Amino acid sequence: MTFINILVSGYLDRNFGDDIMIRILADRLKEHKLYLKTNRKELLIPFKDIDNVFELEENEKVNFDAMVRVIGSGFMTNSKIGLYYAIKDLMYYKKQKKKCKNLITIGCNVGPFSNKFAEFILKRQMNYFDLITTRDENSYDYVKRHTKKAIVSCYPDIAFSIPQNWLPKEKSVENCLGISAYRNNSKPYLNYDYYFAMAKIADEYIGRTGKKVLIFAFDIENENDIVSAYTIKSLCKGAEMIEIILHIDNGDNIIKNMARCSNIIAVRFHSAILAMRLGIPFFPVIYSEKLNNVLNDLNYTGERVLYSEAKSIDVPRLVSSLIAPKDNFVIDSLIFEKANGHINALKEFLGGEIS
């Protein structure tokens, strides 16, 4: 079988969710060459040990059979700077359409849009792609309505398809509480209430169980969950019982430490996805509709709270519910298999060019 060259585009920010999706793509396309381009080499550290992932050097000439954009928040912008990059991306896709015969986006959701002009630009972006797979039904419906030629399909988030051998073989008995750190850059005035609420939850949990709290930084570059994690810890009275877990590698550090938890406060989208993949109960704090949409698709009926309403959390009641034995929200294991659909659709679309 002849290998093909694929230009891979994604959100490179040392972000667990986006990095793990690229890692899964590379694992499923082992016989082919995947190229990533960035002027910040440190962003490629999560992929340094993957044999079929290469850095596209400046001015390097490679003939690509396809450009595959593997990304979660694929068609969205919520700021002026976001709109600037959306316009820049639109021009880039127009250029790539002339170079690559196949432009593909897999694993995305749509929105939010900062204004009508931003929505117009993003709809223009969509129409440069030949294949688009989405991770929630609302996004699927939107793309179907606003694209003319793209093949469109919907499957559960790609991270649900994390291979079993990447997960811990045995469940931990540490019973830690995991908290997903997050910093809302578009509405920073909301952050302190969230930090303070998470600190109260951590102290209440430590005081009533004597168990540790792990604060996870899923993004360690521009979005910088590290600042959020250390701020929460600084507000805690029981800071000596808190560990901060960083996404410092290919994703293994986050996975192995989340497996130490018996409950997760899930703010980051992929903290909820990973909790479900590991079978860990979670309490969602919603900062974006993308998590709401996925939970609705999965018929999740448990409690959830908006990020903007974190200060309203009844901390003693929540911690009681975390500690008390309960029926966990368990998703059908078929979801994990269906999540392979994004890359299966990619392989089917490329047909004889890829096995």
User: pLDDT digits over 245-254, tens only?
Assistant: 999 999 999 9
Regarding whether 13 and 64 lie in a shared domain, the answer is yes
**108 & 51 share domain:** yes
On whether both 285 and 268 belong to a single domain, the answer is: yes
Sequence-distant (≥ 6) Cβ neighbours of residue 282 within 8 angstroms: 263, 264, 265, 266, 271, 272, 275, 276, 329
Is there a single domain that holds both residue 20 and residue 103? yes
Q: Would you call 332 exposed, middle or buried from its count of C-beta atoms within 10 A (0-12, 13-18, 19+)?
A: exposed
For 99-130, write each residue's pLDDT tens digit: 888 999 999 999 999 999 999 999 999 999 99
At 143-162, the pLDDT tens digits run: 999 999 999 999 999 999 99
User: Cα separation of 38 and 55, whole Å?
Assistant: 8
Tokens of 45: 């550290």
Q: Are residues 173 and 143 in the same domain?
A: no
349 & 318 share domain: no
Question: What confidence tens digit (pLDDT) does each residue in 313-345 have?
Answer: 999 999 999 999 777 788 999 999 999 999 999
Residues 132 and 235 in one domain: no
Phi, psi for residue 163 in degrees, rounded to 5: -60, 145
Count CA atoms within 13 Å of residue 135 on its CB side: 33
So what's the pLDDT on residue 60?
Answer: 85
More confident residue, 1 or 114: 114
DSSP letter assigned to residue 99: H
Same domain, 132 and 174: no
Work out how many domains the chain is built from and give that number. 2
pLDDT of residue 59: 72
pLDDT score for 352 = 59
Are 106 and 235 part of one and the same domain?
no
Beta strands at 151-154 and 131-134: parallel, antiparallel or unpaired: parallel
Residues 184 and 322 in one domain: yes
pTM (global) more than 0.85? yes
Average pLDDT, the chain: 95
What digits encode the pLDDT tens for the residues 219-236?
999 999 999 999 999 999
Host domain of residue 145? 5-155+340-353
